[in-house]
Amino acid sequence: MLSFRSFSRTIQIRLLLMFLAKLTTMMVIPYLIIYFSAELGVIKSGFMLIAVILASVAGAFIGGPAADRYGRKKLILLYESMIVISYLGAAVANGSWGTSALATFLFFLLAQFSTGAVNPIYQALILDCSQPNERRVIYTYSYWLGNVSVAIGSLLGAMLFSEYLFFLLLSVACTSLAAVIVTIFFIQETLPQETELHRTQTKLATQKTFARRLGERGFLTFCFASLFVVAMEEQLTNYIGIRFVEEIREGEGVLALLPTEASGIGMLGLLKVENTILVVFLTLGIAKWTKKWSPYLTLLGGVLLFFIGYIILSISTTPFLLIIAMFIASIGEVLYMPIKQTMLATIVPEHERSTYMSWYQIALLLGVCGAGIFLVISHWLSFSSMTFLFCLMGLGSIILFYRFIRNMEAERTVDRSCHEQV
């Protein structure tokens, strides 16, 4: 397996900046909903959460296409600068001189818009600076570093959020400021030079509707398959988590070892810790072990294991069985995640990388919203009906990924035939 040092300098810088950005934001974001609930009430906080998701969608909708037109570097500088301003403003709104939850929310809304806009640009940047044979390893390191940063950031946030929110917000601003400085001096523009030529020479092709272009090369199929995966993953902190709180008895099984009276919450926390530990310690080893496996079978097998684990989580309340289920789901996640990102990279046209990445990000955000919808309808559906829906989601995701793989293979066969005829 390729080493981190073998990547281009731009990718090395991007992965390190991503690590720092996730570390600092995870010290803040997971706990902001608690902050807003305490300051403004649960109902207002719920509407705020919806607004934050919509802001991220709007950012992705604007940022991706703009980067394909105006270039990566200048828009990265713009949106990272907006993130700096946003978190500096939020820090000022939570200083020792007084706090304003409303001002904090408005600045956070701007920050999420900017983050939603810059993320697809960063994804396109990685594609611009990498070769196809490198991407599986790059995404493996990205996935591993992301999970390490989430684990460290969440732990630090749990300890520091209540007393040191001002400094945590300031640290996020400083991280984005560092990204601005590094981008100015060390990142070159990576927008493919032929983009302008391509735009002027293919006016006929661009007359096709955008929906049709998105459907080419199985992109929409891939997005819907990924949406189902995200919607299932988000159930852990929505429907599944609430069911744990309502149904798991205090001190049951392994929970007798946990110093908590809220056994359902304790179980949820234990499963999240288990997932994080498994991903952090197994990702690189499994990637090396499976590098000679068929990527298609690895993807399908990983998604299958992931859904099996989460469906067991949705139907069981036995602690040891839940731990085993999370182990299965985590192994599946480690198997499919880097390959899924690598396959996404192969179907994104070079001249519209940021645009396609922005739509993929919107699909993932819709998956997050889907988890909330499942939570709402669970009040009217029976336990068995919810389980049936989760099984349908898993089956649908696997079928869609399988169709996507079949389409890719068919296209490659056609391409080889054309080359042979030439």
Q: Sketch out the chain's domains with CATH numbers.
A: 8-187 (1.20.1250.20), 209-422 (1.20.1250.20)
* CB distance 365 to 51 below 8 Å: no
pLDDT tens for the chain, 422 residues long, are 567 778 889 999 999 999 999 999 988 887 777 787 778 776 777 778 778 888 998 999 899 888 888 889 999 999 999 999 999 999 999 988 888 888 999 999 999 999 999 999 999 999 888 888 888 889 989 999 998 998 888 888 878 888 888 999 999 999 999 999 999 998 888 777 654 445 544 444 444 444 455 456 588 899 999 999 999 998 887 788 878 877 876 545 444 444 444 467 677 778 888 888 898 898 888 888 888 888 889 999 999 999 999 999 989 888 888 999 999 999 999 999 989 988 888 888 878 888 889 899 989 888 888 877 887 788 788 888 888 999 999 999 999 999 998 887 776 665 555 555 55
